[in-house]
Amino acid sequence: MSSIDRQIHDAEAATTAAQARLDAANEAAVQAAATAEAAAAAAATAADQVRSYAVEVFVRPPAQDALSTMAIKESADASYATDVLTIVAQGRGRVVDAATKAKAVADKDRGAAAAAAEAATSEVAAARTAAESLRSARAQQNRLATQLDDRLDQKLAEVAALKAVDAKAAKELADQEVALRKSVVAAPATAPAAPKAGTPVAATRPSNTPSASNPTTTTVRPSTTPSTVPTTTAPKPTTPSTGSGLVTWADVTKAGGFWVNKSIASQTAALVSAAKAAGFNLSGGGYRDPAEQIALRRAHCGTSDYAIYVMPASQCTPPTAQPGKSMHERGLAIDIQSGGHLITSRSDPAFQWLAANAASYGFYNLPSEPWHWSINGS
């Protein structure tokens, strides 16, 4: 159970306990109210008895009662009747006092019970608010995890294509993205820092991915051992993939040294030619056969269609991107080297030239990866 799930469990338990205390307090308040009402009725009855006795004394003065009493008791003491009446009056007075005190105690108990019920109501409300806040936090955390899963899928797909161009840079990028996904509850990614004055901004297009997929520029450094992609051996046709939106070698061609989708061959060749005229010798990687990614998913994630095409990359061992997440698998993206070195900095002269000219040829940069250019910036 995760930390936030434990907190939610504790908050819900606290809500249940508070509700039990509220139920008990409400029951006590009902009982106290009944007791107070009974005491008030007793006090009223006693008061009525005193009033009736006062009327009786007025109608039949004590002297008459005394004579009757002396006649019945044959007492020799003339004060006996008066003493008897005084005792009766005191007794009735004590009844009224006791009833009045009982009413006061019952009223106090009723007030205390009502206050306890009110406090318990507040406690239940606070406990429910705390539980709801935690559930909201968990939902937000789940949304962030989903965003990071999408980001990880996309980044690992780029890593798979980048590996053929610069294995070291690919590994560093993969490690960075896997570590980010594991954090999950870390603070949301900040917006990319503004470029320094004098640094051209690459032409980009809005991404359809969540905000978590557009981090600040990666810290990947260029490999000390430049890697190039063989350009003399023609690719072998493969069986078309069942993944939606994926293309095969039959859909791509070589243009300007890059294997790309036939639909962008002319613009790719034109871009490379213009860069060469400007003094930049561009090379690198383009199309990547999605069959390779399907094979990796089958090995790392499972053999079911869900495992291969749907399961988040973070649930595979090791994390592996879903087929079709990369524009490389459609032949619509290229990872660019200049002079045999991967472009890893926005201050690289080749990047600055691309930032100023690539859009004219229909290519846009993925802001987090200076080397990655595609037809839509993804």
**Average pLDDT rounded to a whole number, residues 17-46:** 85
Most confident of 5-19, 42-56, 351-365: 351-365
Has residue 240 got a pLDDT over 50? no
Mean pLDDT of the chain: 78
Neighbours of 139 (CB within 10 A): 10
CA atoms within 13 A on the CB side of 109: 19
State percent of the chain over pLDDT 90.
36
Has residue 45 got a pLDDT over 90? no
**Average pLDDT rounded to a whole number, residues 345-361:** 97
Q: How far apart are CA 112 and CA 105, in angstroms?
A: 11
Q: Domain of 258: which CATH number?
A: 3.30.1380.10
Has residue 214 got a pLDDT over 60? no
Residue 263 lies in a domain: yes
Name the pLDDT band for 79 (thresholds 50, 70, 90): low
CA atoms within 13 A on the CB side of 179: 6
Residue 21 lies in a domain: yes
Domain that holds residue 371: 214-221+246-288+326-378
pLDDT value at position 227?
34
Which helix H or strand E contains 10, and what residues bound it?
A: helix 3-59
Token look-up 């007492």 returns 75
pLDDT value at position 108?
86
Name the pLDDT band for 62 (thresholds 50, 70, 90): low
Q: How many helices (H) and strands (E) does the chain have?
A: 8, 7
Name the pLDDT band for 224 (thresholds 50, 70, 90): very low
Has residue 77 got a pLDDT over 80? no
Q: Is 245 left (phi over 0), alpha (psi -120 to 50) or beta?
A: left
Which of 126, 147, 168 terminates a domain? The answer is 147
Do 23 and 141 share a structural domain? Answer: yes
Residue 112 lies in a domain: yes
* Tally of structural domains, the chain: 2
Which of 93, 118, 147 terminates a domain? The answer is 147
Residue 374 lies in a domain: yes
pLDDT value at position 137?
82
Which of 96, 122, 147 terminates a domain? The answer is 147
Residue 266 lies in a domain: yes
pLDDT value at position 233?
34
Q: How far apart are CA 73 and CA 210, in angstroms?
A: 106
346-354's contacts with Cβ under 8 Å and 24+ in sequence apart are 346/195, 346/199, 346/202, 346/217, 346/370, 347/199, 349/280, 350/275, 350/280, 350/282, 351/202, 352/199, 352/200, 353/275, 353/278, 353/280, 354/202, 354/275
Name the pLDDT band for 193 (thresholds 50, 70, 90): very low
Higher pLDDT, 134 or 168: 168
